[in-house]
Structure formats: structure tokens, C-alpha cells
Amino acid sequence: SMKLINLTILAFVAIASANGGPPQTCEQCRVAPDKNHCDMTTSCTYVWGHNAPGPAPYYCACHVGCAKDATNAEIQWRLPWFGSNGDPSQQGRVFVKPGVECNTLCDEWYLGKDWCKEVAEKPACM
């Protein structure tokens, strides 16, 4: 019946909300220039700090100190990116979905690894 279907849908929504919602995703670019679809304000970049099983991701990286819109975590993110010696490296770098323009200076664009902290970090995308 329709009532049972509605209750089932509500139950799934409640479970997803309790578990933090859908998994975080970060859309990758393809490294070939004619296929990566990165906006001209970004560059398709290999994330060499990746240490999970499987191949390392490629993301459209913004210029140093730039982002798109700090309030929209669906189209941009930062990563917990450390150097090979464990020191901070690229934590301030902002990545965007392919096709997203990225030319707005972050609030504290001049702070090196600490720039762009207003953009959410997505560790699951590392």
C-alpha cells in the first residue's frame, strides 16, 4: 500500500541521516587535457599523498590561495595532504569538480599551508 511505501522511504531517510548522510564523493578529472574537463582556472592534478588501496585520484586543483565558494562543499574541498616526511604539505590546496571555475581568493590566501581553511576538508577523498 502507499502508506507502507511512504513509511519505508521515511525509514531509509532516517537511517541515512543518522549515519551522516550519503558518502562524500569528490569527482575526478581525467589526466588527458582534451578529456579532463577542468576549467581553465584549474589544473588536473595527481594527488601523490594518497595512501589508500587502489590508484591515487586526479582532481581539478585551484591556483594556490584560490577557491570557488567556501559555502558549497559539494563542488569544492580540501584534503589532509601531508608530505612524505609527515609534515604539512598541501592542506590548503582547494580542489573542485571538473568544469567549476576557481578564481576567488580565499580569506587568508597568504598563509601558505593554512590558506583556505574556510573550505571544508574531505578526508574520505584522499
Check residue 24 and give its pLDDT. 54
Task: Supply the pTM of this predicted model.
Answer: 0.76
CA distances to 29, 63, 75 from 94, in Å: 14, 8, 10
Q: Can you tell me the mean pLDDT for 2-24?
A: 38
- All cell numbers assigned to 58: 586526479
How many Å apart are CA 117 and CA 6, to the nearest integer?
41
pLDDT digits (tens, 9 = 90+) for 39-62: 999 999 998 877 777 788 999 999
Return the domain boundaries, the chain. 24-126
Q: Is the pLDDT of residue 5 over 60?
A: no
